Amino acid sequence: MIRADGRTLALVALVLAVAACLPLTGSAYWLSLGISIAMYTVLTTSWALFSGPTHYISLATAAFFGVGSYTTGIGIEYLPYWALPPIAGVLGAVMAALVGLATLRLSGVYFVIFTLGLAELVRQVIIWFQNISGQKGIYVLTKITEAQIFWQLLGLAALVYAAGWAIGRSRLGFALRIIGDDEEVARHSGINTARAKVALFMVSGAAAAVVGAVLAPRFVYIEPSTAFTPMLSFQVVIMALLGGTGRLWGPLVGVIPFTFLWEAISASFPNQTTLLLGVSFLVIVYLLPRGFVGLIEGTRRRMRAREAFA
């Protein structure tokens, strides 16, 4: 077990090191694609940390992301940049805790509905605020380069994987797997189910907020309709489920092909991205209920079974 873990660790470090060399190629196109992939990797993996074991579909990613972007946007005038992502993380965690406390005691449907409208709710409140104060958008002018954003995201991805690995072997991770299997059983064996769910949802919310804060300098100009785009929440759900949420590396398997597909579709048919989202949802439900990971593991098991018979 320990040897296998060591090998995985070495493999992950190698992949990260190779990925970190991407800005050295000097190609702006590959770098921007790399940023997208790194961003979605962090978002989907942290999403799956919570939604994978519990089966609660969270559609709040855009809300956390937007709050993070606004933290950088507003805070950059008063504080040095390096202080902002941690602050965004704390804000995201607090917000997740509030949402979780209100909805996670109840059944999953309430949670889905609540998170579905959360981004829109925050957006309406910010627009209202701006109408009162007479301000429109915010300029974020920094000297941060694309390469620096990419490295920050990679670091964040490493952090999320480490957190996922640690949670997976902690009492909390064990408790969540039991909750996912049968919440009734979990409650009877003395697990405080609401607290476990809220704790993990906070991790996922904080990660999304930090990503928003890190990416804000890239947007240059922030306004509510771009910071809180609801598409983001759906993209994250699709990529994570497409990859498969049963394994820590599962979402990554969905992120890479979907990012390429998304880029291709939005470049040549910009109006058809909604249709693509819809079709992806249907494909996941009807053809790939366990994602690519399920497909890969199913094939592997069948091959092994065949070897055993031969």
Q: Under the rule (CB under 8 A), what is the footprint of another protein?
A: 55, 57, 102-103, 105-110, 112-114, 116-117, 120-121, 124-125, 127-128, 131, 230, 234, 241, 271-272, 274-282, 284-286, 289
Cβ 273 to another protein shortest distance, Å: 8
Complex with another protein: residue 18 or 287, whichever CB lies closer: 287
Complex with another protein: residue 152 or 280, whichever CB lies closer: 280
Complex with another protein: residue 236 or 241, whichever CB lies closer: 241
- DSSP character string of 172-206: HHHHHHHHHH-HHHHHHTT--HHHHHHHHHHHHHH
Rounded CA-CA distance 133/129 in Å is: 6
Q: Which helix (H) or strand (E) holds 25?
A: none
Q: Which helix (H) or strand (E) holds 290?
A: none
Cβ 147 to another protein shortest distance, Å: 35
Cβ 240 to another protein shortest distance, Å: 12
Q: Are the CB atoms for 206 and 90 separated by under 8 Å? A: yes
Cβ 223 to another protein shortest distance, Å: 14
Cβ 105 to another protein shortest distance, Å: 8
Complex with another protein: residue 165 or 281, whichever CB lies closer: 281
Q: How many beta carbons lie within 10 A of that of residue 172, not counting itself?
A: 16
Cβ 106 to another protein shortest distance, Å: 5
Complex with another protein: residue 2 or 282, whichever CB lies closer: 282
Complex with another protein: residue 168 or 230, whichever CB lies closer: 230
Rounded CA-CA distance 38/36 in Å is: 6
